[in-house]
Each structure stands twice: as structure tokens, then as C-alpha cells.
Copies of this chain bind each other. A is one copy, B any other.
Amino acid sequence: MGRPLILVSNDDGISSRGIQFLVTVMKELGEVIVVAPDSPQSGMGHAITIGEPLRLTETDLFKDVKSYKCSGTPADCVKLGKHFILKDQKPDLVVSGVNHGSNTSISVLYSGTMSAAVEAAIEGFPAIGFSLCDYDSDADFSHTAEYVYKIAKTTLENRFPEGVALNVNFPPRQNEPIKGIQVCRQAHAKWQEEFDQRHDPYGRRYFWMAGNFINFDTGEDNDEWAIANNYVSVVPCQYDMTAHNAISILNEWSFDNPT
């Protein structure tokens, strides 16, 4: 058996530091191919490009690694990479990141990083999205290298659950080393939006979206707790959005005879 084939993408764009770091670690584990957006795609959620054409262009941004930039979203990158770059080869692992910023809790919904991983899971490929809970574009990733390697290697060595993508978040660099890995669930939390209202030079109003993160979760088995306590959080994610427990509630409603 040859070296594992690893497809790398992200949402901060192919020229970000996070993807350079991720490729460096993945080269220790297998043959790496990069297909990543040509521009930042943060907050893109699981967007795909259906109303306009896509471009895919080879780059020389990574030493000894084939790499391609794509004009689309992270999910587009996985679709195009599978179709035009990998062709008949099935990747042993798809990784996305390392994102400059947290993707814990509810942020998984808005995350371009995780959309690449979830798209890979839909295709039946083992997949991991990595994020560092530090929004600084010059953030120090070095303390996460050991864990990126361990989690990717463990994923390659085990039978991966079908239709799952791991959402891995790292705490920001602190004075003491990371305490370890916690497998956990998505915390119950939300973003409370705040909008910065301004006027352009022509007197017209515009808004910048900002927000405060509000954690409603008091448990210790969730990703927010893990990060706050200097652990790496590993949340297995799936893409069945059905609220199965609500089906019986709705079946008791009289849709045909509202009052």
C-alpha cells in the first residue's frame, strides 16, 4: 500500500498561513494535493456556486505539492478537486484549514472550513476541519502541530464512521501546553449580532456585522468547555438536519383543520 492520498482545502484562501501550516504537517503523513479558494471565503457556510462559472488554476505556492486555486467556495473546491484533479483516485483523507478563528458550537453552520469537510463526508471520504480559536492573521499555529498530526494519523489508522466529518478546534497559544484531546458535542450557544451603522461619503447608510458569542451551555461535554479549559475539541459532525424528536410532535398537529 502506497502513501495515503490527502486532499487539503480551506476557507481563508490558498495564500493564508493556516493552509501552509496544514500542508507542512500533512506532508509527513502522505501525498498531498491542495485545492483551495483563490480568495477568503470566511462565513460562506455550505455555499456552492451555481449561478456563475468556476475557474481552477494550478499554482506553485507549495513546495513539492501540486496545488490549485479555485474561484469558488470551499465546497466547490472539494467538488472540483474530486472531479478534475483526483479523478479516479479516492482520497484517504480530506482536511480543511487550519482556520484563522474558532468554529466551535453554532459557528459550524457558518463555517466555510467545515463545509469543505462536510462536502467530503457526503462523498464518503474521511474528513477533518481544523480551526484555531485565534482570529489574528499572524496567529501562532506551532502548538497545534503535534495534535494536527496525531488526529490525522489516528483518522487514517481507524475505520472512519460513515457520513461524518470531524470538527477540530484548538485553543489559542497559552503559557501552559494543551492538556489533551476531548471528544465532545457541539455546545448550545449563539451569536448575538451587533451592527456598526455608518454612512458612506454619499450620505447613504451601511452596516458592518459584528457579534458577541453567547454560551448557554453549562455542560462539560461540549466544545466550548474544552477550548475554555485548554483542550483540543473534536466534534463528530453529520449532515442529517432532521429534528427526529419533533416528528411525533408535528404528527399530532391538525394541518388540515386549523381553526
Contacts and interface: CB of A to CB of B under 8 A. Distances in A.
Interface stretch (A14-22, A137-145, A240-248): A240-248
Contact of A161 (B167, B188, B234, B249): B249
Interface residues of A, number: 80
Interface string A153-175: 11001100101101100000000
A47 B255 contact: no
Interface string A202-223: 0011111100000000000000
A242 to B, nearest CB: 4
A133 interface: no
B247 A237 contact: no
Contacts of A49: 43, 209
A47 B48 contact: no
Given A154-B254, A251-B183, A254-B154, A108 B241 contact: yes
Interface string A85-110: 00000000000000000000010111
A222 to B, nearest CB: 9
Copies per complex?
2
Contact of A110 (B43, B48, B55, B250): B48
A53 B184 contact: no
Interface stretch (A2-10, A30-38, A59-67, A75-83): A75-83
Interface of A: 40, 42-51, 53-56, 75-76, 79-80, 82-84, 106, 108-110, 115, 118, 122-123, 150-151, 153-154, 157-158, 161, 163-164, 166-167, 180-181, 183-186, 188, 190, 193, 195, 198, 204-209, 234-244, 246-247, 249-251, 253-256, 258-259
8 contacts: A47-B47, A55-B204, A75-B110, A106-B122, A157-B259, A158-B253, A163-B243, A236-B247
